[in-house]
Amino acid sequence: MRRWFLALAAGAVLISVGTTEETKPAPAKPVSDDSELGKAKKAFDDEVAKRTEEIKKARTADEAQELQKDLREFKIIELDGLLDTAAKEPSTELAFDIFSELAFGGFDEQKSKLARLMIEKHHLEQPYVKKLVQPIIAKGDNRADSMLTIIATKNPDKDCRGQATYGMGLYHKAKVRQAGGEAKVEEMKKAKEWFGKTIEKYADIKLGEKTLGKLAAGELKALELVGQLEIGKAVPELEGEDLDGKAMKLSDHKGKVVMISFWATWCPPCMRLVPHEKALVEKLKDKPFALVGINGDPELTDEVKEIIKDTKITWRSFKDAQKDCPPFSQTWEIEGWPTIYLIDHKGIIKQKWTGSPGEDKMDKAIDELVKAAEAK
């Protein structure tokens, strides 16, 4: 089932990492469109554009899939030759573009390692490396640490430094979940330091529709909840506004079995759950049970209001994004919509489902907890 999901070479040459943001690297060497590399890159780009248009015009899904396969094979073959050409002029921006596609395009791993090495050696202090920061963060391998640190401390472009600083926080946050004991404590400390630096120096930089400051604040909050959102743990308090702008708290339902549902009108699987959720609310209206939503629609538009009205959603929902606070879906690290938490009458997390677990399984779990709540 499809989920609607809201993460180098051992012999690489290490570049010394300083903290002198004022140091400006030599600009990338210009390369003419008439050069060997320029002509080769243009021919490659033109062919990729042509094949991409053919995929868009495909008459069937099978035809499109076959054309995509052909395009990938074309890239593998042509990028192999382009890598050799780019290696002759490795410090040019055109070479950087070729190295970037090879490094993070999911091609041959040995070629990817070589391409990342070339980027590390020639390009990390150039402003245009900004377009590569997010792929480096997503890659998250052993070289991400050194690459991001160089960008964060030595790149002259503020946006580059900001994104890399935030990326270093994400890198160490991922390590928190992998480590144990003293190592876990150390990774937690490093993640907090990098996120704190992001807020202090780069809070206003935009990343998509959000600012780095708000994103980093959400990650700091998520770090506070590490280990607390697991089955068998006490559920943290939720406090904010509902869709009508009225204050609400999760603890308003203290003593009841609570089903927390992360949902949105843009999420088809979420909306397919609504009829059964309505049936649950009706069936258990006189029982110690409450359904609490967390709505992930970016704005409460007239269209969203109309959908809520037409589907007869009567239970209250928190707004996912709470004014200047990070969204609940970020601090709770929601990986897919819908996500459902089932809390017993003592406030302990008993179940967590990403996607629907099925009506029978959900009903059985809820009924058992409601009976326990009635027998308290």
Pair (313, 187) in one structural domain: no
Judge whether 120 lies within some domain.
yes
Residue 284: its pLDDT value, please?
97
Q: What is the pLDDT of residues 186-214, one digit of tens each?
A: 999 999 999 999 999 999 999 888 899 99
For residue 323, give the CATH number of its domain: 3.40.30.10
Residue 92 to residues 7, 39, 73, 160: CA-CA distances in angstroms? 29, 14, 26, 18
Pair (66, 160) in one structural domain: yes
Find the mean pLDDT for residues 353-367: 96
DSSP string, 273-302: HHHHHHHHHHHTTTSSEEEEEEE--SS--H
Question: CA-based Rg of the chain, rounded to a whole angstrom?
Answer: 25
Judge whether 11 lies within some domain.
no
Pair (128, 254) in one structural domain: no
Pair (109, 164) in one structural domain: yes
Is the previous residue joined to 27 through a cis bond, with omega within 30 degrees of 0? no
Find the mean pLDDT for residues 292-299: 96
Amino acid at 133: V
Q: How many domains does the chain have?
A: 2
Check whether 19 has a pLDDT greater than 80. no
**Boundary (domain end) residue, out of 224, 248, 279:** 224
Pair (311, 192) in one structural domain: no
Instruction: Indicate the SS3 state at residue 317.
Output: strand
Cα angle: 100, vertex 101, 103; to 5 degrees: 60
User: How far apart (Å, rounded) are the C-alpha atoms in residues 245 and 260?
Assistant: 19
Residue 143: its pLDDT value, please?
84
Nearest to 202 by CA among 175, 171, 172, 168: 168
Query: Range of 88's domain?
Result: 36-224
Pair (61, 133) in one structural domain: yes
Judge whether 267 lies within some domain.
yes
Nearest to 12 by CA among 93, 85, 112, 138: 112
Find the mean pLDDT for residues 122-140: 90
Pair (310, 367) in one structural domain: yes
Judge whether 291 lies within some domain.
yes
Instruction: Indicate the SS3 state at residue 348.
Output: strand
Check whether 171 has a pLDDT greater than 60. yes
Judge whether 25 lies within some domain.
no
**Boundary (domain end) residue, out of 224, 252, 280:** 224
Written as six digits, the tokens of 353 are 């489902």
**Boundary (domain end) residue, out of 191, 224, 257:** 224
Judge whether 112 lies within some domain.
yes
Pair (153, 110) in one structural domain: yes
Whether the CB-CB separation of 288 and 374 falls below 8 Å is answered with yes
**pLDDT averaged over every residue in the chain:** 89
Pair (174, 274) in one structural domain: no
Written as six digits, the tokens of 159 are 């946006």
User: How far apart (Å, rounded) are the C-alpha atoms in residues 58 and 74?
Assistant: 18
Pair (203, 339) in one structural domain: no
Residue 47 to residues 43, 44, 242: CA-CA distances in angstroms? 6, 5, 51
Beta carbons within 8 Å of 20's beta carbon, 6+ residues apart: 153, 154
Judge whether 20 lies within some domain.
no
φ, ψ dihedrals at 32, nearest 5°: -75, 145
Check whether 32 has a pLDDT greater than 70. no
Check whether 346 has a pLDDT greater than 60. yes
Pair (204, 272) in one structural domain: no
Whether the CB-CB separation of 291 and 259 falls below 8 Å is answered with yes
Check whether 22 has a pLDDT greater than 50. no
pTM of this prediction?
0.74
Nearest 10 degrees: CA dihedral of 325, 328, 332, 338?
Answer: -160
Judge whether 327 lies within some domain.
yes
Pair (314, 344) in one structural domain: yes
Find the mean pLDDT for residues 113-135: 92
Confidence tier at 163 by pLDDT (50, 70, 90): very high
